[in-house]
């Protein structure tokens, strides 16, 4: 059995990659993807701890987090589409968010 520390280290690396991406990228789609990576890191933790403690709560929690990630991404992409439509297709996604 792989000790839980390994999972923790893995999730920490994932989390840092996601956070760096979310803070450094300019493109909103890339930011949404980076945030999904951060949430995945939380899920890895939850599932690893769920096995450590032998309870099912962690796995349940991770399902809620997945649903939440999907919800936020859908809403974000929806707003992005409206944004792009009102600005015309010529603008790339980046130009509008360069102030981020």
Partner 1 sequence: MNPVSWPAAFVQARGDFVLLTPEMLLVLFGLLTLLLDLTLDDEQKSWNALPALLGLMLSGGALAMVGSSGKTTFAFGNAIAISPFSGYFGLLAIMLAALLILICTDEVAPVGQQSGERYALVLLATAGMLLLACANDLVVLFVAFETVSVSLYALASTGDADRGSRAGTLRFLLAGAFSTALLAYGFSLLYGLGGSTNLSAISARIAVLSQLSSSENFLLGMALAATGGGILLRIAGVPLHSRIPAIGESAPAAATAFISVAAKLACFTLLLRLLFSIFWRERYDWSILLIVAAVAAMAIGTLASLRQTNVKRLLAYSAIAQGGYVLLAIAASVNRDGSFNARGLGSAGYYLLAFVIFQLGAFAIAIVLRGRNVADDELQNLNGLLQKHPVAGGAMIFVLLSCVGVPPTAGFVAKLEVVRVLFANQHAALAWIAVLFAIPPIYPSFRIVRAIWRDAAEAPERMPISDLQVVALAPMVILTLLLGVFPAPFEHFAARSLAVLAFR
Q: What are the residues binding partner 1 (CB under 8 A)?
A: 4, 8, 11, 15, 18-19, 22-23, 28, 31-32, 35, 38-39, 41-43, 45-46, 48-50, 52-53, 55, 57-58, 60-61, 64-65, 68, 71-72, 75-76, 78-80, 82-83, 86-87, 96-97, 99-100
Q: How far is the CB of 75 from partner 1 (least distance, A)?
A: 5
Q: How far is the CB of 29 from partner 1 (least distance, A)?
A: 10
Q: How far is the CB of 95 from partner 1 (least distance, A)?
A: 10
In angstroms, the CA 46 to CA 25 distance is 27
Q: How far is the CB of 90 from partner 1 (least distance, A)?
A: 15
3-state SS track over the chain: CCCHHHHHHHHHHHHHHHHHHHHHCCCHHHHHHHHHHHHHHHHHHHHHHHHHHCCCHHHHHHHHHHHHHHHHHHHHHHHHHHHHHHHCCCCCHHHHCCCC
């Amino acid at each position: 059995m792989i000790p839980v520390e390994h999972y923790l280290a893995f999730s920490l690396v994932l989390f840092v990659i996601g956070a760096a991406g979310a803070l450094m990228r300019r493109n909103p789609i890339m930011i949404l993807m980076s945030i999904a990576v951060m949430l995945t890191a939380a899920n890895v933790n939850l599932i690893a701890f769920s096995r450590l403690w032998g309870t099912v709560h962690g796995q349940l929690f991770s399902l809620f987090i997945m649903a939440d990630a999907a919800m936020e991404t859908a809403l974000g992409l929806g707003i992005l589409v409206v944004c792009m439509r009102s600005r015309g297709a010529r603008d790339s996604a980046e130009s509008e968010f360069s102030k981020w």
